[in-house]
């Protein structure tokens, strides 16, 4: 065993000091080499140091210029001077072109100024169609891919950009936007019947936000998994029940619980939850107004459920819609449900007429009210008064497709028939409601009265499997085929018309 004295401890300390301070090591290294080589290298060292200092100073000046122009951008934004803001952002992009966030902001300003093509070019650089780059730009691309009648290429582009927008990292989207993106991916998967992908995205959403419970449960039902649907609803109910127990004035929790009850077809419980909320003393005026609106919406939803599952429950549907009129008098769904009631008996139609007259007396939604009123009058065989109200509906809203369709039907069935005007109106209706089965049926009826039998058959056969009341279409097809000399098909449609009539009794 060796023993080193105090001098040994000193060397260890010096070695440690060199390790800690590299300047000491550098000093000793320089002095351990011949001085002439060091002196010869001094110009090169000086040049290198000068260059480094220049580069650092230049970068500092560039950073200062970027900060300066960014301040100018903020000032121009605050004064709504978008042209100047774009100019300064372009300058920032020249000084710091690799900063994706700044390029994205430039794209947004260019778009706000109305230069859509230039904005698209900037965003495509940040979010190309086949490479994941900047998530906010991919989200921008999602919002700008056409959603009406997309082709396969549009759909694949949409799926790619939606997926790319979810990329993690320092530029990832806020959680609220990520939830929206996942929801869009789920809806895209549902439209293509890819249930596994849809449930995967909606489960991720549901784990973060119980509001997605109904959507997830609905997909489970479509997937043939009623047990998973019930478990999802039960989990959401527990979450919102806890919130409501902690704070009875929590309107959102109360409304969500009501929606979950309605999803389970327990409409009385849904209504009770909302009505009980109105009894809370400290509820704000805005929350109280929201609850009243929700009660009206749930009444319409309940009426729609009854119309679909218990078609003969006209009186209950009418009572629910009357209740909804008190809180959501301008709601389109309300008028659509009133319109469905016109398929009922004469007593119900008279009640619909009275309800619409009340709406008109208050000056609310005149176009929709005249449309429903005119339709009810058609059912009551008062075609003259029906025509007046349907014309008033179209005067108030020239693009009201349902009103145009019903007026065309009235003109074709009045005596004398005005087939030319009816034909013109039905073509306008089809532009507002392309390939709508009831509009196609009306056009078929008009063609039949005009003697254009082949055109009539094409429209009527298109509409037949898609409409609720099939008897008029069967009768019209029977007449068309009889005039075309096909007595067998004419007899078949005549018999089917009798079957449909028997169903109504």
Q: What is the 8-class DSSP label of residue 417?
A: -
What is the reported pTM?
0.68
- On the question of a cis peptide bond just before residue 416, with omega within 30 degrees of 0, the verdict is yes
Q: What is the mean pLDDT of residues 143-157?
A: 77
Give the model's confidence band at 33: pLDDT under 50 very low, under 70 low, under 90 confident, else very high.
Answer: low
Mean residue pLDDT of the chain comes to: 84
CATH 3.40.50.920 fits 21-126, yes or no: no
Instruction: Please state which of the ranges 114-118, 125-129, 329-333 shows the lowest mean pLDDT.
Output: 114-118
Give the model's confidence band at 130: pLDDT under 50 very low, under 70 low, under 90 confident, else very high.
Answer: confident
Neighbour-count burial of 445, counting CB atoms closer than 10 A to its CB (0-12 exposed, 13-18 middle, 19+ buried): buried
Q: Are 213 and 233 in contact (CB under 8 A)?
A: yes
Identify the sign of the CA torsion 96, 101, 107, 109. Answer: negative
Give the model's confidence band at 105: pLDDT under 50 very low, under 70 low, under 90 confident, else very high.
Answer: confident
List every span in the chain annotated with CATH 1.25.40.10. Answer: 21-126, 153-246
> What Cα–Cα distance (Å) separates residue 480 from each residue in 299, 364, 422, 447, 470?
42, 42, 19, 10, 15
Q: Are 225 and 231 in contact (CB under 8 A)?
A: no
Condensed to tens digits (0 to 9), the pLDDT of residues 440-482 reads: 999 999 999 999 999 999 999 999 999 988 999 999 999 999 9
Class of domain 153-246: mainly alpha
Q: What is the pLDDT of residue 86?
A: 59
Give the model's confidence band at 64: pLDDT under 50 very low, under 70 low, under 90 confident, else very high.
Answer: low
Distance separating alpha carbons of residues 421 and 332, to the nearest angstrom: 28
Give the model's confidence band at 376: pLDDT under 50 very low, under 70 low, under 90 confident, else very high.
Answer: very high
Distance separating alpha carbons of residues 217 and 203, to the nearest angstrom: 10
């Amino acid at each position: 065993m060796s023993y080193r004295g105090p001098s040994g401890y000193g060397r260890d300390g010096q070695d440690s000091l060199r390790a800690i301070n590299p300047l000491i090591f550098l000093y000793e290294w320089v002095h351990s080499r011949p001085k002439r080589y060091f002196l010869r290298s001094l110009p090169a060292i000086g040049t290198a140091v000068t260059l480094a200092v220049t580069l650092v100073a230049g970068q500092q000046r560039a950073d200062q210029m970027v900060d300066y122009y960014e301040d100018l951008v903020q000032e121009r934004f605050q004064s709504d001077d978008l042209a100047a803001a774009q100019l300064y952002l372009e300058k920032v992009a020249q000084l710091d072109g690799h900063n994706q966030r700044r390029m994205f902001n430039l794209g947004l300003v260019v778009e706000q100024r109305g230069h859509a093509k230039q904005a698209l070019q900037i965003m495509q650089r940040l979010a190309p169609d086949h490479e994941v780059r900047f998530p906010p730009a991919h989200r921008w691309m999602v919002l700008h891919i056409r959603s009406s009648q997309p082709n396969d290429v549009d759909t694949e582009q949409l799926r790619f950009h939606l997926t790319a927008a979810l990329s993690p990292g320092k530029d990832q989207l806020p959680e609220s936007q990520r939830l929206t993106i996942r929801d869009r991916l789920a809806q895209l998967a549902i439209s293509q019947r890819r249930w596994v992908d849809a449930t995967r995205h909606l489960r991720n959403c549901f784990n973060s936000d119980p509001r997605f419970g109904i959507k997830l449960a609905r997909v489970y039902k479509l997937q043939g998994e009623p047990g998973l649907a019930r478990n999802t609803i039960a989990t959401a109910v527990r979450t919102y029940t806890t919130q409501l127990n902690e704070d009875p004035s929590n309107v959102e929790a109360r409304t969500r619980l009501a929606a979950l009850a309605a999803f389970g077809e327990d409409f009385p419980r849904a209504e009770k939850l909302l009505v009980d909320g109105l009894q809370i003393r400290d509820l704000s005026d805005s929350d109280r107004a929201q609850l009243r609106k929700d009660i009206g919406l749930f009444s319409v939803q309940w009426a729609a459920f009854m119309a679909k599952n218990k078609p003969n429950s006209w009186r209950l549907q009418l009572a629910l819609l009357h209740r909804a009129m008190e809180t959501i008098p301008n709601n389109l769904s309300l008028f659509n449900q009133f319109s469905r009631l016109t398929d009922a008996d004469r007593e119900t139609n008279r009640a619909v007429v009275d309800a619409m007259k009340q709406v008109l007396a208050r000056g609310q939604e005149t176009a929709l009210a005249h449309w429903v009123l005119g339709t009810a009058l058609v059912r009551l065989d008062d075609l003259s008064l029906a025509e007046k109200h349907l014309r008033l509906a179209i005067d108030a809203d020239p693009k009201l497709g349902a009103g145009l369709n019903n007026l065309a039907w009235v003109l074709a069935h009045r005596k004398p028939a005005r087939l030319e005007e009816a034909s013109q109106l039905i073509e306008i209706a089809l532009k507002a409601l392309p390939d709508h089965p009831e509009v196609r049926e009306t056009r078929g009826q008009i063609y039949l009265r005009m003697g254009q039998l082949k055109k009539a058959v094409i429209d009527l056969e298109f509409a037949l499997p898609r409409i609720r009341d099939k008897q008029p279409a069967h009768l019209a097809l029977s007449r068309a085929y009889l005039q075309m000399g096909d007595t067998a098909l004419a007899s078949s449609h005549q018999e089917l018309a009798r079957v449909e009539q028997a169903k109504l009794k």
